[in-house]
Structure 1
Amino acid sequence: MTSILTNTAAIAALSTLRSISSDMETTQGRISSGYKVETASDNAAYWSIATTMRSDNKALGTVQDALGLGAATTDVAYTALESSIKVVDEIKAKITAASQPGVDKDKVQKEITQLQDQLVSISKSASFSGENWVYHTGSAGAGTQSIVGSFNRDASGNVSLTTLEYDTNNSSLIQVDASGANVSLGGTGLLSSNLTYNTDTGSSASLSVSVLTLDISTMTAGDLSAALKGVDAVLQDMTDAASDVGALNSRIDMQTDFVADLMDSIEKGVGKLVDADMNEESTRLKALQTQQQLGIQALSIANSDSQNVLSLFR
């Protein structure tokens, strides 16, 4: 049936054109934005996952900054320990030299005093962003320091932080009280605590002086021998402390690399969920443009059918 009131063919062609135009709008939006899932209306599940993972990745970026700060702090502490070991090694050599008969111990002590001052200078200077792992005062005592190492989310959606912890009691070189005096008894400072050593019989003995207060000017041969053993014991403890800090620094480096790789993996995963495939979208756009041209042609043909009715009345 031919009707001038209802053009079924034109209605069908127009409906097809609307559908093609909607698809073109979607495709053009993906091409311009680069996303196939840009809003929740595009795909609620993928959008939710992507939004959460982007937030987690941002948190991991902050973790990277924290690891960088931790690495700098441990680097400074390790440098201080390494430099202090060299100075204490020099003090050990001076004590050995002073043990030789005929050596002027007063002159050797002057050299030791300069080395002791250098140890204090190194320890006080080993601070980064207000943290000092080798010099501790009455108001900033040694204790466990935590470095944020990772951001975690479990299967239930609960979040937590992984921390790398280090007890600075192990690396403390100098500890002073509120008045600034060295804590020689019961303190954690390897250089400020009284010297202790193992005797030839295996028992523990101690001296009433520390590395920082050592004065060999009036020491006897026996006193020098005991001081040498005490300084050597401190040197061994400092070496152990430097090894611990170096191991922590190595772990921080590994964790930093892991966090960087993890962020890259998350970013790739999110991209697979929401990024548009430009090759696919460009091909779809060309196809839709062709369909649109054909739809317009079909609508033109359908509209011309109404004109053909006039020929019936000529």
Structure 2
Amino acid sequence: MVALQTLRNINSNLETVQSEISTGKKVATAKDNAAIWAISTVMSTDVESFNQITDSLNKGSSTVGVARAASEQVTELLQDMKNLIVSAQEDLNADDRAKIQTDIDAKRTAISNIVNAAQFNGQNLLQGTESISILASLDRGSDGSVSATSITVARQDLQTTAAVDAAAKEATDAGYVSTADSATDSTVDLSSGDAGFMSTAQSGNITDGNDADITLDAGTVTTGDEFTINVGGSDYTYTALEGDTANDVAAGLKTLIDAGSIANLTVTVTPGADPASDDATINLAAAGGNVTFDETGLASETTQGVISDGDTIDVTLAGGTITAGDTFTINVGDAEYTYTAVDGDTNNDVAAGLKTLIDAGSISDLVVTVTDAGDPTSDAATISLEADGGDVNVSLAGLGSQNAAVAAGGLGAIADLSVATAEDATTALNTIEDLLDTAINAATSFGSAQTQIEGQGEFVQTLIDSMTSGIGAMVDADIEAASAKLQALQVQQQLGVQALSIANSNPQTLLSLFR
């Protein structure tokens, strides 16, 4: 029995050593050493996470590197531009200035091409202003909590696009509603029940010493509603904000009119005691001369209401140029339908697209028809919304307000560079200096960010190596020691088998005596 127990212990130890040699680990499972296995497993998962962070840092470094290289190239082209502008500071004839201008225009185009192409994996840091975050590390607290840290890289807008004024774009682009409601259909009143819209429209001439009261109905003002009054030959439009009342509209119009500094005019406002039920009044008083006014626009700029059963409203989309990316939204039957323009679209495409979307909504009691513009560059397209079988809610506020303005790019002033005259050349010299500063600052910012990212990448790799080494020290087997131990145990196993054989032979001898 002693020999058998000894052999069992030898075989158990031999199995352990053979497992170490085959797996290369002295702690391969939780049963080998629960505490060490738990610690090493947590550290191993962290190593895998840090490997992913390394990939993120490498991608981030490449993204920033592309932006840095592009901004450096833009800086060189701007310097070349500056050289051309400097050469235009002397007295030159028109032909020479035209040649210099041609070179400047060519470099402007090259800059625009570089900025548009400077992307890595879809990220272009030379367009827009929003920052990007690059995963940099995982921080594990003493309580076991884990938090991610990132490196923030600010975009540096080097686009050459010029600013587009919202009002100017809306006035000239196609698709924007030329009349916000259906004033052509007298049976439909979209302003019914809304606050701010005057009960009696009036216009004319306020003679010296007289005044006119403009009444704004009490009730609910809808965000986005526009209120326009023409005083002294100029339009003043107030756009309602969230939470506005008729009192706010009256005060807003007064502020706008006062800012217009109209001669011979005094504006006062009498707010309603309760905007929900009491009207607000704007008083226009002429003193020192006559003043013209027209408030008919106040009653026609509302963009929402109800189409009564049997009535129709016509939504007109102005002719002109559609800009790709512009969105046009109609809210019908309390659901929004938005068409986004693609390159080459006309107002006919917008009208057809909106009709398709509205038809797909299967709105009860609504019939939609479209009348195409004969010439989309100048003629209006029309969407007719007919209520057939019941009333239908409608709002057109989104048609004339979406994506109307375009902010200028960081190099937007480059579009105005001209050396056509000596005065233009002087102005261009000052402008190019500002543009150079913008490009240099962008390159510097990207260079600093790339250095930070690469430094973090080196640290993370060092951390991975250190953690891998520490995990190995805890769980990896000493193969040399395990091999020596294996040989010793194999010898012991042979001896144990022999000892068991000898021990088993003694009872056999004793039994032979009985036989």
What TM-score bracket applies, with the shorter chain setting the length? 0.7 to 0.9
* 1:122-178 residue CA offsets vs partner (Å, 9 max, x unmatched): 110111111111123xxxxx211101111221111111111000221xx21116579
Task: Provide closer, same or farther for how the CA distance between residues 258 and 70 of structure 1 changes in structure 2, counting only shifts above 3 A.
Answer: same
TM-score of the two chains, using structure 2 as the length reference? 0.51
The 1-side partners of 2:422 and 2:410 are apart by: 24
Q: Distance in 2 between matches of 1:310 and 1:41?
A: 45
Query: 1:143 is paired with a residue of what secondary structure?
Result: coil
From 97, 104, 116, the equivalent of 1:112 is 104
Query: Is the aligned partner of 1:145 residue 2:132?
Result: yes
- Contact kept, 8 Å, 2:160 with 2:415, in 1: the verdict is no
The AA in structure 1 aligned to 2:122 is: G
Which residue pairs with 1:286 in the alignment? 487
Q: 2:121 maps to which residue?
A: 129
1:173 aligns with 2:162: no
Aligned 8 A contact 1:143 1:167 in 2: yes
SS in 2 for 1:127: coil
SS of the residue 2:133 aligns to: strand
More helix per residue: 1
Aligned residues: 275
CA RMSD of aligned residues (A): 2.2
CA distance in 2, matches of 1:102, 1:243: 36
Cα offset, 1:307, TM superposition: 2.6
Matched AA of 1:220: A
Letter paired with 1:159: V
Counterpart-to-counterpart distance in 1, 2:158 and 2:65: 16
- Asked which structure has the greater RCO (Cα within 8 Å, sep 6+), the reply is 1
Q: Is the 8 A contact 2:131 2:152 kept in 1?
A: yes
Match of 1:234 in 2: 435
Aligned to 1:151, the other structure's residue is in SS state: strand
Q: CA separation of 1:291/1:281 partners in 2, compared to 1, >3 Å: closer, same or farther? A: same
- Contact 1:46–1:273 at 8 Å: present in 2 too? yes
Residue 19 in structure 1 maps to residue 4 in structure 2: no
Residue deviations 1:287-310 (CA, integer Å, cap 9, x gap):
111211221121122112113325
Residue 155 in structure 1 maps to residue 375 in structure 2: no
Q: What's the CA shift for 1:111?
A: 0.9
Q: Decide whether the 8 Å contact of 1:27 with 1:285 is kept in 2.
A: yes
Q: 1:187 Cα shift?
A: 4.8
Shift of 1:189: 2.9
Q: Is the 1:135–1:175 contact (alpha carbons within 8 Å) kept by the matching residues of 2?
A: no
Corresponding residue of 2:410? 190
Provide structure 1 residue ranges, at least 5 long, that are not aligned to the other structure.
1-10, 137-141, 193-209
Q: Deviations over 1:30-60 (max 9, x none)?
A: 1111111011000001111111111111111
Q: Is the 8 A contact 2:50 2:464 kept in 1?
A: yes
- Dislocated runs of 4+, deviation >6 Å: none
The 1:40/1:53 distance shift into structure 2, 3 A limit, reads same
* Counterpart code for 2:105: T
Cα deviation per residue 1:67-122 (whole Å; 9 max; x = unaligned)? 11101110110111011001111111111111111252111111111111111111
Deviation of the 1:237 alpha carbon: 2.6
- Please give the alpha-carbon distance, in whole angstroms, between the structure 1 residues aligned to 2:68 and 2:22: 52
Report what 2:70 is aligned to: 80
